[in-house]
Structure 1
Amino acid sequence: MSSIFGWFFLDVRGRIGRQEYWLGLLLTLLLVLLIGPRLEDLGLALLRPRRPTWSRDELDFALLLPKLLLVAVAGWPLVAVAGKRLHDLGLSAWWLLALPAVQVLATVSHVDRWHVAGRVLLVVIGLVPGRRGDNRFGADPRARAPSPP
Structure 2
Amino acid sequence: MIQFLLSPKGRISGTQFFSGIAIAMLVMVVIGFALGTVPSLDGPIILSLCWLLLAWPLVCLLVKRLHDTGRGARWLWGLAPQAILAVLSLAMGGFIPVIMLWLMTLLGVLANLACWSLLFFLALKPGDEGENAYGPDPHLKDQAA
The answer to whether the superposition gives a TM-score over 0.5 is yes
- Percent identical across equivalent pairs? 31
Whether 2:138 is the aligned partner of 1:141: answer: yes
Answer yes or no: is 1:8 the counterpart of 2:25.
no
Name the structure 2 match of 1:119: 116
Which structure has the greater CA radius of gyration? Answer: 1
Q: 1:79–1:41: structure 2 CA closer, same or farther, 3 Å change rule? A: farther
Match of 1:97? 77
CA separation in 1, counterparts of 2:85 and 2:52?
21
List alignment gaps of at least 5 residues for structure 2: 90-102
User: Gaps (5+ residues) in structure 1?
Assistant: 47-61
CA contact (8 A) 2:11 2:67 kept: yes
* Counterparts in 2 of 1:38 and 1:9: CA distance versus 1, 3 Å: same
Cα RMSD after superposing both structures: 2.6
TM-score (norm 1): 0.70
More helix by share: 2
- Within 2, Cα distance between the matches of 1:45 and 1:105? 28
Q: CA deviation at 1:81?
A: 1.2
Residues 67-86 of structure 1 deviation map (CA, whole Å, 9 limit, x = unaligned): 32111222222111111100
| TM-score between the two structures when normalised by the length of structure 2 | 0.72
